[in-house]
Amino acid sequence: MDDPLFERKNTKTNTPAIIYTDIVPGHKLKILAIPKGFGAENMSTLKMLKPSDGKDKVVDFVVETIKKA
């Protein structure tokens, strides 16, 4: 079986899934899923801001990008 993590090879089946685990003390289980594919990675954008734009411009840009997505 090909391993995309170690061989950096596209299996063209999106398998196997890459699963990260952290073993911590306790008796609870927390599962966080981040689906990928179907164009999800195409929702990125880039903008050059001036140093003088400040925090408000950054926040405005992030909010506008999320609305467009």
User: Where are the domains positioned within the chain?
Assistant: 4-68
Residue 58: helix, strand or coil by DSSP? helix
Q: Which residues of 29-52 are buried (b: 16+ CB within 10 A; e: fewer)?
A: eeeeeeeeeeeeeeeeeeeeeeee
Residue 5: helix, strand or coil by DSSP? helix
> Do residues 4 and 10 lie in contact, with contact meaning Cβ atoms separated by under 8 Å?
yes
**pLDDT per residue over 17-43, tens digit each?**
677 788 889 988 888 777 666 565 667
Q: Rounded mean pLDDT of the chain?
A: 78
> Distance between CA atoms of 62 and 57, rounded to whole angstroms?
9
> Distance between CA atoms of 51 and 47, rounded to whole angstroms?
13
pTM above 0.85, yes or no: no
